[in-house]
Amino acid sequence: MSGDRDSAVGEQGARSKEKAAKRATGAAAGNAAAGPGKRSGAPAKRPAKPAKQESHLAMVRRARRINRELAEVYPYAHPELDFRNPFELLVATVLSAQTTDLRVNQTTPALFAAYPTPEDMAAAVPEKLEEIIRPTGFFRAKARSLIGLSAALRDDFGGEVPGRLADLVKLPGVGRKTANVVLGNAFGVPGITVDTHFGRLVRRWKWTEQEDPEKVEAEIAAIFPKSEWTMLSHRVVFHGRRICHSRKPACGACPIAGLCPAYGEGETDPEKAKKLLKYEMGGRPGQRLSPPPDYPGSPAPPLGAG
């Protein structure tokens, strides 16, 4: 596992881990619905709507409180792509475009067995590489990116993944989002990862009105200290995947309902909302085949298993 994630989790302490484990069991859904400090199963109360003209300072304070609450709910938040080194994380992140982390994790074991280094992948026969990554979708374009970035790593960086944003974004198929994932989780360099979940939630929470990922990144970066950027990204994405869904948020099972100006867009009945929870919050497997040891859920199955 990456060192920065282990360090971040370690800072939460044993008490936070115990809370996380409880939330991830069948009874955890009730705890999540109740929110921090409330009895399990207690229905989430409809929050008072924030003032129509919430000041910037009030928004910043609310945003930082949401981050603190999410840190209590997800002290085990982590990148949900399996990887053992920066190259594997870079490749997995490129593959994750337009598909799920689960499908990527089910595909990469065979991929890295065949092409463990940039030199190996740069020399790959395109058709053979395409066949391995076919389950992730858009496999021809992704194969071109993987061969191209591997060749660039071999020729320009001595076969090593660079640890600078300016270098990473020059690689084929690598944009700011991918670069920030690699920097934050393989090199410990703080970064904000604006994927679809992150963008949806920060707009839903009225932290920004921007749609362009780079503008979203800049505005959110101004709200939080740099040291929080990487873990903030994980917490927000975790919440978007587990509770604050796109089409039907589980508002009645949301631990930050009282801080959310969009409360009521989804299911507010606590019992119905519990049924919408996903992954460990809903008592089901996560996305990683090899999750960190403190992850309270169960590993995902390999490709073709069940």
Catalytically active residues, by annotation: 177, 195
Q: Is 244 annotated as a binding residue?
A: yes
Instruction: Give the alpha-carbon dihedral of 254, 258, 262, 268, to 10 degrees.
Output: 50
Q: Is 64 annotated as a binding residue?
A: no
> Could you give the count of Cα atoms lying within 13 Å of 70 in the half-sphere of its Cβ?
25
User: Over the range 75-87, which residues count as b (16 or more CB within 10 Å of their CB) and which as e?
Assistant: bbbbbbbbbeebb
Q: Is 260 annotated as a binding residue?
A: yes
- Pick left, alpha or beta for residue 181 (phi over 0 → left; psi -120 to 50 → alpha; otherwise beta): alpha
Radius of gyration of the chain measured on its C-alpha atoms: 20
User: What is the identity of the amino acid at 64?
Assistant: R
Q: Is 202 annotated as a binding residue?
A: no
Binding-site residue positions: 244, 251, 254, 260
Binding-site residue positions for [4Fe-4S] cluster: 244, 251, 254, 260
